[in-house]
């Protein structure tokens, strides 16, 4: 009888140990999965923070560049843009002068330039106030 009880006890203890091992393995697997999920979440958060940080830094650079260009150029910036546009237009004016002067005599060329407003643009570009 004691052998039978000892056998039952050993079978029960093996079952309990095996169920404990299964339970421990289940918990261990669950812990591994949770750690993996947290790792992925942390990596995603760090990646998102990095993207946001880079975007904010670039935005600060753009704002700083605009402020510095306004401070250093100020009102001259609009004058610079106007001069640049006038110089660009002056190439059109020169092209127009060449086209008109090739096809017409000088007096007609002068009248044509004056009528189209190119003459005042040339004077403004050369700094003549007449």
pLDDT at 61: 81
Considering the domain boundaries, does residue 108 fall inside one?
yes
* pLDDT in the model for residue 90: 53
Question: Tokens 């546009």 sit at which residue?
Answer: 85
Residue 87 lies in a domain: yes
- Assigned domain for 53 exists: no
**How would you write 38-100 as a 3-class SS string?**
HHHHHHHHHHHHHHHHHHHHHHHHHHHHHHHHHHHHCCHHHHHHHHHHHHHHHHHHHHHHHHH
- Residue 30 lies inside a defined structural domain of this protein: no
Q: For residue 64, what pLDDT is reported?
A: 78
- 123 in a structural domain: yes
The answer to whether the beta carbons of residues 122 and 89 sit under 8 Å apart is no
DSSP letter (8 states) at residue 118: H
pLDDT tens for the 130 residues of the chain, in order: 567 777 666 666 666 666 666 777 777 788 888 888 888 888 888 888 888 888 888 888 887 777 776 666 655 555 555 555 544 455 555 555 555 544 554 444 455 555 555 556 565 655 555 5
Could you tell me the pTM of the whole model? Answer: 0.34
How many structural domains does the chain have? Answer: 1
Range of the domain at 129: 75-130
> Does 117 fall in a domain?
yes
Query: Is the residue at 66 inside a domain?
Result: no
């Amino acid at each position: 009888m004691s052998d039978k009880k000892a056998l039952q006890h050993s079978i029960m203890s093996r079952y309990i140990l095996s169920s404990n091992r299964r339970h421990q393995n289940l918990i261990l697997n669950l812990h591994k999965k949770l750690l993996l999920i947290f790792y992925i979440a942390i990596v995603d958060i760090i990646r998102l923070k990095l993207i946001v940080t880079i975007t904010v830094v670039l935005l600060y650079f753009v704002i700083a560049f605009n402020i510095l260009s306004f401070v250093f150029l100020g009102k001259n910036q609009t004058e610079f843009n106007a001069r640049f546009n006038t110089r660009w237009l002056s190439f059109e004016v020169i092209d127009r002068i060449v086209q008109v002067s090739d096809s017409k005599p000088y007096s007609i060329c002068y009248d044509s330039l004056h009528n189209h407003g190119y003459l005042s643009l040339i004077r403004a570009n050369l700094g003549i106030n007449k």
